[in-house]
Amino acid sequence: MNLHEYQGKEILSSFGVRIQRGIVASNHKEAVEAAKQLKSETGTSWFVVKAQIHAGGRGKGGGVKLAKSLEEVETLSNDIVGMMLKTPQTPPEGKKVNQVLIAEDVYYPGDSEPEEYYMSVLLNRSTGKNMIMYSTEGGMDIEAVAEETPHLIFTEEIDPTLGLLPFQARKIAFNLGLSGSAFKEMVKFVSALYTAYVKSDSSLFEINPVLKTSDDKILAVDAKVTLDDNALFRHKDYAQLRDLREENPIEVEAKAAGLNYVDLDGNVGCMVNGAGLAMGTMDLIKQAGGDPANFLDVGGTADAKRVETAFKIILKDPNVKAILVNIFGGIVRCDRVAQGIVDAYKNMGDAIKVPIIARLQGTNAKEAKELIDNSGMKIISATEFQEAADKVQEVLAS
């Protein structure tokens, strides 16, 4: 589950990571109140107005603006809330901004050398260890750094059973070129950051930039946090951080129905049981020259009700021009699933306007094929995997 910057910063702060402070607002009036409150708490009179969307590159897209007065906070917030913000990470039409974070300006006027670093914490799946990636080249263009000067990005691997060892935190501060009080501050920052990552059960922290001010404070100016969905049951208080406005509505609905669905760009809807088979099906569609519209794992119990729900969800995507049903009957018998497909088809009347190709293999596959062929419905049956993919291409071409 992805979080907004302001939510990520709250989590960091709760574990003692120093952050650029801010207050979230949903409109220009709230923004001015937020700025007043920040002023009284921090003494700042300059602010940064930051669009809150689940995408990076906001600065480049015009979603992060410096405000030198309360009036500017008001006008900038008024401009940014409601805008369609386009960044290199949003869809082409942009993402609607519902909230802004009013943050203290931490780049002091006259501070000639604020240093911006990059730091992320994530899991290295190939070594089974956590890792901290960091660089002196923080700021807005870490992708370009990775592309052009990858040797400027360092990696520190952390054994999860040992945790971050003190020498590792010192090594990071050293490699960032720090000394004196800034060095000590960085050691504290890195340690707190790693603790926050582990304790919050996150799968990604990306802090870009981490700022060093001229008076040697180290703080998180930005925060991209992804929580591990599988650990959310341990953090009941994080559930309310989900912002459904940021998520694909079809995926949200599928999830509520207990279906594992991921929206994709193609035109062949897929209904498959088992994640592995679903991946294989998508590969085969591609190989046959098609393009999957979704990943959908209906799970082990593909009964009529579930199949119907799955059809409805697939058909919400207007790009879908054909549906490939690919079911392996291991635990569940193929004839039961076939009955489910036929029943769902009947129940849905003429809601299904696209051709369906159904391939069922495994226990009672023969009975299943007969059931479909004799149903009188416009369902094309197939036995072999390749045959099914080719039939999809045929109906798309006709």
Could you list the active site residues? 118, 206
- Residue placing its CB nearer to Mn ion in the complex, 208 or 267: 208
Q: In this structure, which amino acid lies at residue 304? A: A
Partner touching 115 among Mn ion, ligand GDP, none, CB below 5 to 8 Å by kind: none
- Rounded distance, CA 242 to CA 111, Å? 37
Binding to Mn ion (CB under 5 A) within 211-270 occurs at: 222
Partner touching 193 among Mn ion, ligand GDP, none, CB below 5 to 8 Å by kind: none
**Contact status: 208 vs Mn ion (CB under 5 A):** yes
Q: Which residue is nearest to ligand GDP (CB)?
A: 59
Least separation in angstroms between CB 58 and Mn ion: 7
Least separation in angstroms between CB 206 and Mn ion: 8
- C-alpha closest to that of 318 among 290, 345, 285, 293: 293
Residue numbers at the binding site for ligand GDP (CB under 6 A): 20, 48, 50, 56-59, 64, 66, 105-107, 139-140, 208-209, 221-222
- Residue placing its CB nearer to ligand GDP in the complex, 243 or 253: 243
* Two tokens, residue 4: 């907004």
- Residue placing its CB nearer to Mn ion in the complex, 137 or 222: 222
Least separation in angstroms between CB 239 and Mn ion: 26
Partner touching 58 among ligand GDP, Mn ion, none, CB below 5 to 8 Å by kind: ligand GDP
Angle at 227 between CA 221 and CA 232, to 5 degrees: 140
Least separation in angstroms between CB 185 and ligand GDP: 18
Partner touching 212 among ligand GDP, Mn ion, none, CB below 5 to 8 Å by kind: none
Residues that bind Mn ion (CB under 5 A): 208, 222
